Amino acid sequence: MTPPPPGDAGAPSWHDVAAFDDLDSDFPLGVEIEGQHVGVFRQGDEVYALENVCPHAYALLSQGFLEGGVIECPLHAAQFEVATGRCLNEIGQRDLACHSTKIEAGRVLVMLKLVS
């Protein structure tokens, strides 16, 4: 294994998570990147990656119900806007962290946002 170049240690990097064509607009994909749960959501030609653990209690949002660009938590129905992570009802408690995404050569890449 090649060590990272000097000054590059800890720099955020892109992670290949799926083929774009394998993503289903009705069913999010849950992945783990560097120990973080990430939900990957396809909406038409766009892909969004959000923090995947519900802020209310422990539930994976990628196992929830996706409709109209909104993901609903499978446990107690917190709702979040997929494109922005914005929390839409009180039980969700706060907005979700959004990670960067891009599509290259038909692959979906995700770069983790640094969450403190």
CB nearer ligand FES, residue 85 or residue 108: 85
- Which is nearest to 54 in space by CA: 99, 17, 1, 96? 96
User: Over the Cα atoms of the chain, what is R_g?
Assistant: 15
User: By CB under 6 A, what part of segment 8-27 binds ligand FES?
Assistant: none
- Which is nearest to 12 in space by CA: 78, 111, 116, 91? 111
Size of residue set near ligand FES by CB under 6 A: 9
* 58 to 97: interface string for ligand FES, x by CB under 6 A: -x-------------x-xx-x------------x------
User: By CB under 6 A, what part of segment 28-57 binds ligand FES?
Assistant: 54, 56-57
CB of 59 vs ligand FES, minimal distance in Å:
4
- The rounded distance, in Å, linking the Cα atoms of 91 and 79 is 8
Residues in contact with 111: Cβ distance below 8 Å, sequence separation at least 6, in sequence order: 12, 13, 14, 15, 99, 100, 101
Which residues are near ligand FES by CB under 6 A? 54, 56-57, 59, 73, 75-76, 78, 91
